[in-house]
Amino acid sequence: MSTHASQEQSSQTDTESEAGSLSEQIAAAIASNEVILFMKGTPEAPACGFSARTVAVLQSLGKPFAAVDVLVDPRIRQELSALSNWPTIPQLFVRGELIGGCDIVTEMYESGELGRLLGAEEGATQGVAAPDAAPQTPFTPIENRL
């Protein structure tokens, strides 16, 4: 095998092991956080309307959640979508299970299902339209070392 071919193969193997590691880190983050949102931007500064709306829904329920900004490294989005088999961002996971994106989260919020799933106080937000702006709720930032 030529030196160039050997270096190329080594580089490809390094990239694959980094991707595997990243995938494992994403899976670990999902498993170790009861509620985790993979989004564009941060809860304090969402970078798209869908992420902003999903954050507002979660904040209105008053339950803490972890958040990961997928924009800091394009590999996060790629690995997350491969892991979840869901192509769009944001992606909300509750107790390790993919709930869905903005539309599904909003529908579940409006029906009261999301509040029940998260154990939010009964009746506090059930059946009301998703807020455009909500009070701040504690969240756990995940360092973007994923």
40 vs 80: CA distance, rounded Å? 13
pLDDT in tens, 81-117: 999 999 999 999 999 999 999 999 999 999 999 999 9
Higher pLDDT, 11 or 119: 119
**Are 48 and 119 in contact, with CB atoms under 8 Å apart?**
no
**pLDDT of 3-44, one tens digit each?**
454 444 544 445 455 555 899 999 999 999 999 999 999 999
Residue 62 scores a pLDDT above 80: yes
Q: Is the pTM of this model over 0.85?
A: no
Give the pairing of strands 97-100 and 91-94: antiparallel
Other CB atoms within a 10 A radius of the CB of residue 63 amount to 20
CATH 3.40.30.10 fits 3-141, yes or no: yes
